[in-house]
Structure 1
């Protein structure tokens, strides 16, 4: 397996780093290993037919810098020379990028690998601690991020190196626990007959909860989108919105606790993405940590694991920048995920 100890896999500066989600694409250029990233305006993926068009119009046409390399974090599994995003119509074709956009190297990793790189490298000022527990600096970590979908990654430390572990953990099953859950779960929209974590823990998942709560209460929905739900919740103007955010925090705590057990994440669980930042006051309330720790027979263990909200506005780009500067710190597999001219 190629590693970053091999000359063939070093980063060539300047490097374009990109965080490609289902809704937005964020780009920056790193001139060298010591420079701060030059950031570009956030692009809506729906505004561009292809990622190549977005990079050309949104980045290359706006700077005299010509990146030699590109490191892209994408929301979807990476298989072969055509990479399809899970919640976006873009198809990433690294060989075409090399041919048409002038890159010498293109590397593609999972978007939550990039969040994992951020969890291993962010300054404490960008980590808002929620609840008890103490961090063990070199022990396993988990990153969970509700956004357009539900992203999950692990982070394992060995031989002085952080190894991000990508996956599709957002699609695990989630089931009812309380009497209220048993009222609501039959009203949640399933995916092929089941309720996955992503069906309730993402933007559309928030709306799934909201519509179910409204129906169970016999009320008409007031909010039309997640932003309106969070606004009504913060204003305390809609009881369905208030319960929706409480349930969202509870379900997020349950899933985060399960993942903490799977990875034995004594190094902490890190909540990524804009939704976690927006509902931070709700996560500070008892619902989240109570659900996180309610894992008999291991509730006492979960009580010792800290949870954090990542508050950096461009966390994935920060993680990619750390990786580009010092790849030897991170055990990112490049086989089948790096292309060169």
Structure 2
């Protein structure tokens, strides 16, 4: 992917670098090269003046880094010991995060273990650089999409009625919107599953639900839980786009495999804020506990102060849960009263009603 702004030229692949140089470029001044492996392109690099260029997380053949620095380029190497690319330009995929037989040895498992290790200035910088890169990649990914969020409890197990409802909601929404979730297990996984299969008939979702019920939770085995999800994906080549935004802050809860794009953060506050922000077509809140309640009122605060043209629907599903078990609805109603958001907050009983409110 390439973007140009004035004299700034963003280059994110080796192929783009080689092509631009072949087209006649002789000076890299104003170039910003991110995460490119240049070890096999030493001759191409040598044919350019590097002064004024910025190399972020690039790899060089022996001697090339010292040469471009001497010519006046700025070089920011990958942070030491970090298992993740601090300058990545794309969101994650589930295959990338789980690409090992053992979850402990996977990129996701190693990143979580590293994030919980000894803190240092280097590790803090690495996390900040990584999350900034994810911010940029996510902004590009959502720029031309209409997103609806589905929030709900992480503890909802496969095989339960609540899981089936969330999957059906994702399936309904995915037909006209891009579904975004927190990217974890439970209702989040179910909504991503339903959305991913939005191009398939409802019977395909029912079959997937029956298959997944054999491994209801990621405990005691993340490997078995993820493998069951990949088995479902292997039988469905079609894939409607759907987004997951998880965090290594809750790394003991692994990311679900059904999101086609995964924006995984180290910092949870930034992750929470951006997840709500990208849902420009509204959010459906299924039954949940503290995390879901936090998301309701974080979203309510955004809508409370928003201009009427920027207010997005908020739909709470389950009157008993939201008026008696965790009575968030009365407070939400009180906050909304007399505000532009008042007509955009809803309490419904079924996921079918919720889908109708945010699919139009």
Report 1 or 2 for greater relative contact order, CA contacts < 8 Å, sequence distance ≥ 6: 1
State if a TM-score over 0.5 links the two structures: no
More strand by share: 1
TM-score by length of 2: 0.29
More helix by share: 2
Pair member with larger Rg = 2
